[in-house]
Amino acid sequence: MTRSYRATVEYDGTAYGGFQIQPGRRTIQGELERAVHRITQQFVRIAGAGRTDAGVHGRGQVISFRAEWSHGCEDLQRAMNAVLPRDIAVRKVAFARDRFHARFSASSRVYVYAIYNGPVRAPFLSRFSHHVARPLDLSAMAEAGSYLEGEHDFAAFGHPPTGDSTVRVAHHVEWGCGVPAWGNCPGTDSDKLVQFEIEANAFLRGMVRRIVGTLVLVGTGSLTPAGFSEILESREIRRSGAPAPASGLCLWRVRYGQNGEVGSPECSWMS
């Protein structure tokens, strides 16, 4: 019997050309589809909630697909993990309504960007953070980031993946300092770890990385919070800062509907 499934996927995106299948490149979607094919002998098209770019990570990526599988969801999870590369893991699998779509059913996505702010780089964190040696003014960055909340035209920070609209709604924007979202790292000075969290209904291509790159200019004193606001209002991408490296960015969580259902390892799927 063919059923609809949804799953939470975690991955280290360092070695991949992004989530979405691309000719001649190794991708997260491609590896997931290859895994399902190996265990079911069916070609299955997988949809993802977020089209993370090359080198970007995922901890709460949500996928949906339809497949014929005669065993339970936990058996499907174990079978997929047995054949997936070690840098990709399926954290949870559940049945889904037929109308559920990982991307189009999502109400918002949460991204976290991590910065290691210290004079000497931290190789242990290099795969999952961006090293900024110059001291950062976190209060100025927080002030500038506050201008992002609400509905705006974000054309200054990215390109639409489809269509022409660059208007998005940012529900929550926050800078924090201390233990990173993924947990404490032994031997690392936690006070040098800075992270940016943004939740929005949808994102433009490269949007979070350009926002962070521009906010770092604020943090180092090269740009004022008011200047950041002017860049946002200008809708001119040439005025934004260079994109921050992909290594620091992670798709952390996906929310669905008014019930606040989330795609994360801790979530409880609802039918």
Tell me the per-residue pLDDT of 15-63, one tens digit each, with 9 for 90 and over: 999 999 999 999 999 999 999 999 999 999 999 999 999 999 999 999 9
| DSSP strand pairing (47-48 vs 167-177) | unpaired
Tens-place pLDDT, residues 167-194: 999 999 999 876 566 555 555 666 789 9
CATH of domain 2-105: 3.30.70.580
What mean pLDDT is predicted for residues 204-210?
Answer: 97
Task: Give me Rg for the CA atoms of the chain.
Answer: 19
179 and 190 Cβ atoms separated by less than 8 Å: yes
Q: Please give the DSSP secondary-structure letter assigned to residue 126.
A: T
How many residues can be counted in the chain? 271
Q: What integer pLDDT is reported at residue 267 of this predicted model?
A: 34
Q: Decide if 2-105 and 108-252 have a common fold.
A: yes
Neighbours of 163 (CB within 10 A): 6
CA-to-CA distance for 213 and 237, rounded, in angstroms?
12
CA-to-CA distance for 105 and 50, rounded, in angstroms?
12
Q: Cα(first)–Cα(last) distance of the chain, in Å?
A: 18
Q: What integer pLDDT is reported at residue 266 of this predicted model?
A: 37
CA-to-CA distance for 190 and 30, rounded, in angstroms?
36
Q: Tell which residue, 54, 17, 51, 11, has the closest CA to residue 35.
A: 11
Alpha carbon distances (Å) from 89 to 30, 33, 130, 192, 197: 14, 13, 24, 29, 23
Q: What integer pLDDT is reported at residue 124 of this predicted model?
A: 85
pTM value? 0.91
Question: Residue 269 — very low, low, confident or very high, per pLDDT cuts 50/70/90?
Answer: very low
* CATH T-level fold of 108-252: Alpha-Beta Plaits (3.30.70)
Alpha carbon distances (Å) from 264 to 62, 151, 254, 255: 8, 26, 7, 9
263 and 60 Cβ atoms separated by less than 8 Å: yes
Exposure b/e, 39-59, CB count within 10 A at least 16 = b: bbeeebebbbbbbbbbbbbbb
Neighbours of 96 (CB within 10 A): 21
What mean pLDDT is predicted for residues 137-153?
Answer: 97
The domain segmentation of the chain, as residue ranges, is: 2-105, 108-252
Positions annotated as catalytic residues are 53
Alpha carbon distances (Å) from 188 to 51, 62, 136, 202: 31, 30, 18, 33
Of all residues in the chain, the percent with pLDDT exceeding 70 is: 90
What mean pLDDT is predicted for residues 5-12?
Answer: 98
Q: What angle do CA 168, 170, 176 make, to 5 degrees?
A: 145
Burial category of 82 from C-beta neighbours within 10 Å (exposed 0-12, middle 13-18, buried 19 and up): exposed
